[in-house]
């Protein structure tokens, strides 16, 4: 695209520099006639080349627009997938966090029960000892 644009600009510049001039002065009339005729042929070739370059640029721009549109669609799709993945990961994380909180609560409750069991065991051992003492 850059190459075509560069060629177009060169051709356009050549065309503009060789464009028709104001009527020649008497001094350079003969030379102007010769240059004018040659420039006329060159101008027609330059115009045709410039038109072809413009058409090629237009085709290339259209192709690039199509590619850009496709890439935009692809990026949107990719973005939606990434958002879904992030939302899924967030749900899993929240679930794990809740599970972790539940587990921590269960762990605390288990510790409390273990402590109560130890206290009861200690009381039982103490009662058994007293009973043994009373028997003797």
Residues 26-67 have pLDDT tens digits of: 444 454 444 455 545 555 677 888 889 899 999 999 999 999
Residue 84 contacts residue 35 (beta carbons within 8 Å): no
pLDDT of the residue at 125:
92
Residues 13-30 have pLDDT tens digits of: 665 555 455 554 544 445
This prediction's pTM: 0.40
pLDDT of the residue at 3:
72
pLDDT above 50 for 72 = yes
Number of domains in the chain: 1
Residue 4 contacts residue 57 (beta carbons within 8 Å): yes
Residues 74-108 have pLDDT tens digits of: 888 888 888 888 888 888 888 877 887 788 888 88
Domain that holds residue 112: 2-135
Measured between alpha carbons, how far is 128 from 124 in angstroms, rounded to an integer? Answer: 6
Measured between alpha carbons, how far is 114 from 91 in angstroms, rounded to an integer? Answer: 34
pLDDT above 80 for 10 = no
């Amino acid at each position: 695209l850059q190459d075509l644009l560069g060629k177009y600009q060169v051709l356009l510049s050549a065309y503009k520099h060789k464009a028709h001039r104001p009527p020649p002065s008497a001094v350079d009339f003969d030379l102007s006639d010769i240059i004018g005729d040659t420039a006329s042929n060159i101008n027609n070739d330059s115009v045709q080349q410039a038109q072809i370059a413009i058409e090629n640029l237009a085709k290339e721009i259209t192709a690039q627009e199509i590619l850009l549109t496709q890439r935009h669609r692809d990026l949107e799709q990719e973005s939606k997938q990434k958002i879904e993945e992030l939302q899924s990961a967030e749900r899993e994380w929240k679930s794990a966090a809740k599970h972790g909180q539940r587990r921590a609560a269960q762990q605390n409750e288990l510790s409390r029960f273990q402590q109560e069991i130890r206290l009861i065991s200690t009381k039982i051992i103490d009662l058994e000892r007293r009973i043994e003492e009373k028997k003797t």
